[in-house]
Copies of this chain bind each other. A is one copy, B any other.
Amino acid sequence: MKIGDLAKRAGCTVETVRYYEREGLLPRPERGANNYRLYDASHLETLCFVRNCRALEMSLAEIGTLLRLKGMSGQDCGEVNTILDEHIDHVAERLAQLHQLQEQLVSLRRLCSRIESVESCAILRELAESPEGDCPARPAGPHVRGAH
């Protein structure tokens, strides 16, 4: 099958397919007399593998490692499990970080309930504060320490 068919079946663009080939995630396929790439079912499987991993937001480096492990028959899948566990931890950390961020944003947003002038807007004032009392432009205002 040609690159357009492959891409459609895997749900990505032809540019992405060529990109994966350049990055070494997809083996270089045969070429027809017209220099078109010609793919078979195993290419499709590999591409689906990559796209599924990307949908789970793994990095291409992680996916490359998984593909190498997948190809080493006789090997056990302990490393696969480890990579997945690490990725799960990574996502958990990012989730915690975003939760905290969301709280900070919401409490910042509450500082200005009604429309005021930009000079008196407590949001803008809060955002101009220095990390450790170092921004001397506005000496000391009402300000939500602990919110961030």
| Residues of chain A having any CB pair with chain B under 8 Å | 9-11, 41-42, 44-46, 48-49, 51-53, 55-57, 66, 69-70, 72-78, 80-81, 84-85, 87-88, 91-92, 94-95, 98-99, 101-102, 104-106, 108-109, 112, 115-119, 121, 123-124, 126-131, 134-138, 148
Question: Contacts of A44 on B, CB cut-off 8 Å?
Answer: 130, 134-137
* CB-CB nearest 9 A-B residue pairs: A77-B121, A45-B137, A48-B135, A78-B115, A48-B130, A9-B134, A49-B128, A76-B115, A52-B127
Q: Tell me which of B11, B76, B106, B123 contacts A118 (CB under 8 A).
A: B76
* Known contacts A56-B105, A88-B102, A98-B95; is-contact A80 B41 (Cβ 8 Å): no
Question: A51 CA to B134 CA in the complex, in Å?
Answer: 13
Q: Tell me which of B53, B108, B124 contacts A77 (CB under 8 A).
A: B124
Minimal Cβ-Cβ distance residue in B for A11: B131
| Number of copies of this kind of chain in the complex | 2
**Would you call A48 and B118 a contact (CB within 8 A)?**
no
Query: Can you name 22 A-B residue pairings with CB atoms under 8 Å?
Result: A9-B134, A10-B134, A41-B137, A44-B130, A45-B138, A52-B127, A52-B148, A56-B105, A66-B124, A72-B118, A74-B117, A74-B118, A76-B118, A77-B117, A78-B115, A80-B112, A81-B109, A81-B112, A84-B123, A85-B109, A94-B98, A95-B99
